[in-house]
Amino acid sequence: MYEFDLVLLLLQQMCVFLVIAWLMSKTRLFIPLMQVTVRLPHKLLCYVTFSIFCILGTYFGLHIEDSIANTRAIGAVMGGLLGGPVVGGLVGLTGGLHRYSLGGMTALSCMVSTIVEGLLGGLVHSILVKRGRPDKVFSPLTAGAITFFAELVQMMIILLIARPFQDALHLVQSIAAPMMVTNTVGAALFMRILLDKRAMFEKYTSAFSATALKVAASTEGILRQGFNEENSMRVAQVLIQELDIGAVAITDRDRLLAFTGIGDDHHLPGKPISSLYTQKAIDSGEVVYADGNEVPYRCSIHPHCKLGSTLVIPLRGENQRVIGTIKLYEAKNRLFSSINRTLGEGLPSCCRRKFLPGSMSARRRCSPSRKLSCCMPRLTPIFCSTPSIP
């Protein structure tokens, strides 16, 4: 088999390999792989993930002269590069034992070389971390260079261990260049997928944090003044502007205090609560989400209302009692974004500390025993909530 033909065939197998990696990047399994960590659960996940890729690299390989031209090195090197020497060594051992179980002239040499490849990736990981350059771990160039060197070492190990020597030499001459090219490109592309996922995650987190801080800064002074119609409307206007959603409503336990956005012609402040979703949130004290698809949503006031989904967030006051709700709406022709849903669900942690001081301030000012404490500054925590990955 010509070397060029072998390169093309291995690249085809590698494409399947990378498609699996891309599909996995859409799940939560990839999140721990996007950072250098010492946490044991993350290390275990790294070991399992790259052991699977290591074994798949063998299965996707091509049988050449009693051996297998493969992409196994990608799993071993990436396991070491992202997980460290211990993880890399264990991934290499797992993939190596699997290769040894398949037999052949190069079974032992391939097992040894796979372990060495994992350790090489782990060695580079340790060096970069000790030098304070963990960002280099996620460089496609680094991944490709280490994999190229690891494949070069593998060919040397095959020549040293596999016998008869002439057969081993002929095999190395046939598979060295194709495997070096394929594994190098594959490792770099794998790291590129991981890097793109990491960049997307950081962009999402940055956008979330910026919006959360804007909401916190804009509502800080308003919420201290009390939980009434005027202040509720001001808060609703801040939320609809910062979150870019269809509409915002704020209620107490009995009536609508404020509404702004789509449907403000029939959602009128002062009217009693008629929505079953709002009443459910008040009664249960839990967030209620109706996306308009799996959980149907229909406006309880107007049959032709243009709102198509809602998120109802209960607000807790003194003694954890629900004192009202914040309702976020989206139009029928728009999806409720995950970032707005996460921000919305984080509102109670902010408002629980901000509504209560304002709503109780009048009574506290009238009590002599409260005068001194009322004069002291209050520290209000910044609105912050950890975002979830759609």
pLDDT in tens, 42-52: 899 999 999 99
% pLDDT > 70, the chain:
79
**Could you tell me what percent of the chain has a pLDDT over 90?**
41
| pLDDT score, position 352 | 53
Q: What interhelical angle do 72-83 and 85-101 show, nearest 10? A: 160
Point out the least confidently predicted range of 193-197, 244-248, 262-266, 383-387. Answer: 383-387
Average pLDDT (3-11) is 83
**What pLDDT, on a 0 to 100 scale, did the predictor assign at position 231?**
87
Give the mean model confidence (pLDDT) for residues 225-238.
86
Is CATH 3.30.390.10 the classification given to domain 224-375? no
Look-up: residue for tokens 């290390």? Answer: 43
Whole-prediction pTM: 0.63
Average pLDDT (351-368) is 47
Write out the two tokens for 365.
């000012």
**Residue 226 predicted with pLDDT over 70:** yes
Instruction: Give the mean pLDDT of 197-220.
Output: 69
Return d(Cα 253, Cα 298) in angstroms, integer. 21
Q: Could you read off the pLDDT of 83-123 as tens digits, one per residue?
A: 999 999 999 999 999 999 998 889 999 999 999 999 999 99
Burial of 296 (0-12, 13-18, 19+ CB in 10 A): exposed
Quickly state the pLDDT bin for 205 (edges 50, 70, 90).
low
Q: Which helix (H) or strand (E) holds 186?
A: helix 165-223
Residue 53: what pLDDT?
A: 92
| Contact (CB, 8 A) for 238 and 220 | no
Q: In the predicted model, is pLDDT for residue 186 greater than 50?
A: yes
Which residues belong to CATH 1.10.1760.20 in the chain? 3-205
Higher pLDDT, 297 or 389: 297
State the pLDDT at residue 203. 74
Which H or E run contains 79? Answer: helix 72-83
Would the pLDDT of 359 be above 70?
no
pLDDT score, position 362: 44
Residue 296: is its pLDDT beyond 90? no
pLDDT over threshold 50, residue 364? no
Looking at residue 142, its pLDDT comes to 94
Q: Which amino acid is residue 2, in one-letter code?
A: Y
Task: Tell the residue number behind the tokens 């205090």, with chain if given.
Answer: 257
The confidence score (pLDDT) of residue 361 equals: 47
pLDDT digits (tens, 9 = 90+) for 253-295: 999 999 999 999 999 999 999 999 999 999 998 988 887 777 7
Average pLDDT score over residue span 53-77: 89
pLDDT at 375: 34
pLDDT at residue 366 is higher than 70: no
Mean pLDDT of 152-169: 93
Domain with residues 3-205, CATH architecture: Orthogonal Bundle (1.10)
**Omega before 377 within 30 of 0, i.e. cis:** no
Structure tokens at 141: 């160039």
Average predicted confidence (pLDDT) for the chain: 82
Residue 208 has pLDDT above 70, yes or no: no
Residue 7 host element (H or E): helix 3-24
- What does the pLDDT look like over 308-347, one tens digit per residue? 888 898 888 777 788 889 898 988 877 676 666 676 766 6
Q: Which regions of the chain carry the CATH code 3.30.450.40?
A: 224-375
Higher pLDDT, 356 or 317: 317
